[in-house]
Structure formats: structure tokens, C-alpha cells
């Protein structure tokens, strides 16, 4: 069985929960994406930009010192942090910008939290000479000032969002309002495997290159498949990108690591799967942090890229069916893991990716015998130096 179904559902999750004004456009987009997938010229063009511009394939690096330290795990790092712009986000923005061009859209809008997706969108807009407007919560603009400069340098307009909590979810509300208003000429370039159908599916397909490469690389080295896949989950695009091509390899365990913030038993976390309830936000039904009245709760994470109360619907489906397990890692554990990886391997991970690394110690304590694991190192840590400086060196 392959997901989503024709209405964009993954079991009881997914779908299209949007204002009527957008429905026809979403249906057009779905058709255009289907056509593109079947078009060898599109596949060739996408592969060209991934290779020549983004820097694929990325390495699958055996982290030997880290593995020795963890004893029971043989760890491979999928080095998405080495891509142009410093994170896996560019896989998706390149794919969507090519679709936008096929649809003749001249104006691109995006939402961003940490600024990584905003930068990846501004980058591809510059590459193709398209107008780029990025919505960003005014709180995030303060926290991620350098990424705002990067976006502006790339020619994007960054619009501060003052409504609600002034963070990622409000930026997404505002992007949707812009989209409804400029539906004819504007393409909404969503940064994760969430939003209305076909976005969760389309973004998954563009990010699946991660798992496709990792599977081939691991097989070539080890002549077998890995025992575990581990990736951080905010919206869930790097995790879905790694997981999806292993879906039918039933003995490969998938573990998504959510931001537990101050702890899963506090209210300050972003663990939509571990602690959420079914709900509808930003166009899809998924697992959602919310109160008893269905009002969306505020998320918290040290990592702005995980600071979102929802999650992609396919992850909710994987959790419900037991195909993947989801766990939480606190701010402090993630910070310690960033240090650990920096000092054992000379690799500074993004704080998002550090959540995945942090789970390895817990996994190492649980497994019997020696197990192999691929960790998606979704981004590099440069953008987090301000946070790290404040928390570790002042």
C-alpha cells in the first residue's frame, strides 16, 4: 500500500483543510507535480541542480570515535549539513522552485522559523531570478538575526509577523493569508512535510533523496541494511526524507526524535507526536499540541527549527501504525550532544540535528549486541553559535 491516497490521506491523517479559494490551486499543483514526476526532463533537471548546485550526493560518514564511545552502536552520519546553505532544506526548495517555474509562477512566498528554510528559499529564488517574500515571526527575527541578513542579502523581502506568538506557526498563518490573497501569481513554498495535500507528499518525495542515497551507501559498505534510522522531527522533513525509502524494509527500526524542551512532563516542549492529540492546523490533520478546547498550544525548543506545535501527517500515521517510534530529547541533552559530536568527530551539528545525536546514548544503553544506525545530520551548527555562546561560554 502506498500513501497518500487520492485525497491526500495517510490513514486518518493528512487531507486538505484550507479555505475554498485555495482548493482549485492545490488540485492544479497536485496534477503538475504528478506530471513532473513522470517527466524525464524534470527528473534530469532536479538531479542536475541537486548534484551541481546543492552538492549531492552527501557522504555517509562512519563516525568511529563516537561509535567507540557509544560501544554498542556503529554510527553512520548522513551529512546533509554539508549541502549548500548548510541543511537538507535545499533539497526541497530546489524541487519546489522547479515546479513553480513549470506553473509559470513569478512570486514565491515562504514561512520560516529558524530562518533555514527562508534562506534555502531565498537562495533558489536568487538562482532563478524570482521574487521572494519570507514571513517570519518578529520573535524569531530577533533570535535569528544573522539568517535575516542572509535572506536580505539574497534579495528576499523578510516580513515580520506580529500576530499571535510571533513565531513559526504565526508566520505560517500569515503566509497562508498572503497566498489566499495572491493565489493567481504566487507559489507557496512550504518548508516541511506538513500543510495541505499535496505538500506533505511532494516535500517527502523531494527529500527522499536522503534515504535513497543512504540506503545505497550503507548497502555498499556493509552488505546489509542498518538496524536503526534516527532523525530529529520538528515538521519532520529530514526524518521523512531518511525514513521513507526504508518503509518496506520492515526490520529497519525508525526513530524520530522530538524536542522535549524542558521535559516531556512540562508544558515547555515541542513534542507534537509524543504529547499531542489529533488535530487540524495549517491545512492538515495530524498530531497537534493543543488545549482541551482545540486551541493550538505554544511550542518550546532551544532549537528554533523544532519549535512548532504540529508535525507532518505521515509521521502521525507512522506512529499510529507503529512503523516508527517517536521519542523526546531535552534542550540540555541536545546541547550536550552538540558538544559531544564536536569533540569526538570535529563536526558541529545544528541544534535540531543534535537532538538526533543525543538519542544515540539512550539507544546505546538499550540495544543488545552491536547494532548499526544511520543518523541524519540534517544541518550544520553555524547558525546556533549565538545560542551556544550564551548557554555554554558565558
Partner 1 sequence: MNRIDQKFIELRKVNRKAFIPFITAGDPDLAVTEDLVLALEKAGADIVELGVPFSDPMADGPVIQAASYRSLQQGTNLKKILDLVRRIRCHSQVPIALMSYYNPVFRFGEKDFVSEAVAAGVDGVIIPDLPAEEAVDLRREASARGLATIFFMAPTTPAARMKAVAAAATGFIYYVSVAGVTGARQAVAREIAARVRAVRKVTDKPVCVGFGVSTPQQAGEVARAADGVIVGSALVQLIHTHADQADLLECVSAFAASLARAVH
CB 106 within 8 Å of CB 130: yes
Options 68-76, 143-151, 173-181, 299-307: segment touching partner 1 (CB under 8 A): 173-181
Min dist CB 1 to partner 1, Å, is 21
Give the residue with the Cβ less far from partner 1, 188 or 218.
Answer: 188
Min dist CB 316 to partner 1, Å, is 14
Residue 15 binding partner 1, by CB under 8 A: yes
By CB under 8 A, name the one of 193, 210, 281, 358 that touches partner 1: 281
Element (H, E) at 78: strand 73-79
Catalytic-residue membership of 111: yes
Catalytic one among 30, 74, 80, 111? 111
Residue 300 binding partner 1, by CB under 8 A: no
Q: Which residues make Cβ contacts (< 8 Å) with residue 35, sequence separation at least 6?
A: none
Min dist CB 218 to partner 1, Å, is 39
Options 18-26, 33-41, 202-210, 236-244: segment touching partner 1 (CB under 8 A): 18-26
Give the residue with the Cβ less far from partner 1, 114 or 172.
Answer: 172
By CB under 8 A, name the one of 21, 31, 37, 266 that touches partner 1: 21
How does strand 283-288 pair with strand 277-281? antiparallel
By CB under 8 A, name the one of 4, 95, 283, 305 that touches partner 1: 283
Catalytic-residue membership of 89: yes
Min dist CB 177 to partner 1, Å, is 5
Can you tell me which residue has the cell 519570507? 134
Q: How many CB atoms lie within 10 A of CB 386?
A: 12
By CB under 8 A, name the one of 295, 366, 369, 390 that touches partner 1: 295
Residue 183 binding partner 1, by CB under 8 A: yes
C-alpha 196: how far from chain center: 16
Residue 164 binding partner 1, by CB under 8 A: yes
What residue spans of 84-154 are helical by DSSP H? 89-102, 116-128, 138-143, 145-153
Q: Which residues make Cβ contacts (< 8 Å) with residue 237, sequence separation at least 6?
A: 88, 89, 92, 191, 192, 193, 203, 204, 207, 312
Give the residue with the Cβ less far from partner 1, 44 or 184.
Answer: 184
Q: Is the dihedral of CA 152, 157, 160, 166 positive or negative?
A: negative
Residue 163 binding partner 1, by CB under 8 A: yes
Options 9-17, 80-88, 131-139, 218-226: segment touching partner 1 (CB under 8 A): 9-17
Min dist CB 293 to partner 1, Å, is 4
CA dist 123 to 27, 90, 119, 151, 208, Å?
Answer: 27, 8, 6, 8, 21
CB 259 within 8 Å of CB 271: yes
Give the residue with the Cβ less far from partner 1, 170 or 205.
Answer: 170
Residue 159 binding partner 1, by CB under 8 A: no
**How many amino acids of this chain bind partner 1 (CB under 8 A)?**
39
- Residues 240/295/9/228 CA torsion (nearest 10 deg): 20
- Residues 204/189/306/341 CA torsion (nearest 10 deg): 70
Residues involved in catalysis: 89, 111, 378
**Residues within the interface to partner 1 (CB under 8 A):** 7, 15-25, 163-164, 169-170, 173, 176-177, 180-184, 277-283, 285, 288, 290, 292-296
Amino acid at each position: 500500500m502506498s500513501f497518500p491516497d487520492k485525497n491526500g490521506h495517510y490513514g486518518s491523517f493528512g487531507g486538505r483543510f484550507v479555505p475554498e479559494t485555495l482548493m482549485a490551486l492545490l488540485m492544479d499543483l497536485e496534477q503538475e507535480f504528478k506530471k513532473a514526476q513522470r517527466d524525464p526532463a524534470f527528473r534530469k533537471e532536479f538531479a542536475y541542480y541537486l548534484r551541481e548546485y546543492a552538492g549531492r550526493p552527501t557522504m555517509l560518514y562512519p563516525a568511529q570515535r563516537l561509535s567507540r564511545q557509544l560501544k554498542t552502536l556503529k554510527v553512520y552520519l548522513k551529512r546533509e549539513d554539508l549541502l549548500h546553505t548548510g541543511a537538507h532544506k535545499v533539497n526541497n526548495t530546489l524541487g519546489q522552485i522547479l515546479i513553480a517555474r513549470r506553473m509559470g509562477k513569478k512570486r514565491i512566498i515562504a514561512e520560516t522559523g529558524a530562518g533555514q528554510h527562508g534562506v534555502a528559499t531565498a537562495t533558489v529564488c536568487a538562482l532563478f531570478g524570482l521574487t521572494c517574500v519570507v514571513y517570519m515571526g518578529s520573535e524569531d527575527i530577533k533570535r535569528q538575526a544573522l539568517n535575516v541578513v542572509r535572506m536580505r542579502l539574497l534579495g528576499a523581502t523578510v516580513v515580520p509577523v506580529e500576530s499571535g506568538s510571533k513565531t513559526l506557526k504565526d508566520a505560517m498563518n500569515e503566509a497562508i493569508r498572503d497566498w489566499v490573497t495572491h493565489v493567481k501569481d504566487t507559489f507557496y513554498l512550504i518548508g516541511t512535510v506538513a500543510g495541505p495535500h499535496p505538500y506533505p507528499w511532494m516535500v517527502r518525495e523531494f527529500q527522499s533523496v536522503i534515504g535513497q542515497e543512504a540506503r545505497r551507501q550503507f548497502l555498499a559498505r556493509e552488505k546489509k541494511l542498518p538496524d536503526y534510522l534516527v532523525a530529529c522531527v520538528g515538521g519532520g522533513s529530514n526524518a521523512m526524507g531518511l525514513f521513507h525509502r526504508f518503509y518496506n524494509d520492515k526490520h529497519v527500526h525508525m526513530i524520530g526524535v522530538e524536542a522535549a524542551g524542558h521535559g516531556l512532563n512540562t508544558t515547555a516542549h515541542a513534542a507534537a507526536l509524543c504529547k499531542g492529540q489529533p488535530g487540524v492546523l495549517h491545512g492538515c490533520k495530524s498530531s497537534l499540541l493543543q488545549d482541551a478546547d482545540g486551541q493550538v498550544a505554544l511550542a518550546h525548543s532551544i532549537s528554533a527549527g523544532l519549535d512548532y506545535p504540529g508535525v507532518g501527517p505521515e509521521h502521525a500515521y507512522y506512529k499510529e501504525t507503529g512503523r516508527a517510534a517517536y521519542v523526546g530529547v531535552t534542550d540540555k541533552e541536545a546541547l550536550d550532544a552538540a558538544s559531544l559530536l564536536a569533540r569526538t568527530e570535529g563536526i558541529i551539528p545544528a541544534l535540531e540535528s543534535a537532538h538526533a545525536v543525543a538519542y544515540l546514548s539512550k539507544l546505546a544503553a538499550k540495544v543488545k549486541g552491536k547494532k548499526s544506525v544511520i543518523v541524519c545530520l540534517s544541518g550544520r551548527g553555524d547558525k546556533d553559535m549565538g545560542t551556544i555562546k550564551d548557554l555554554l561560554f558565558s
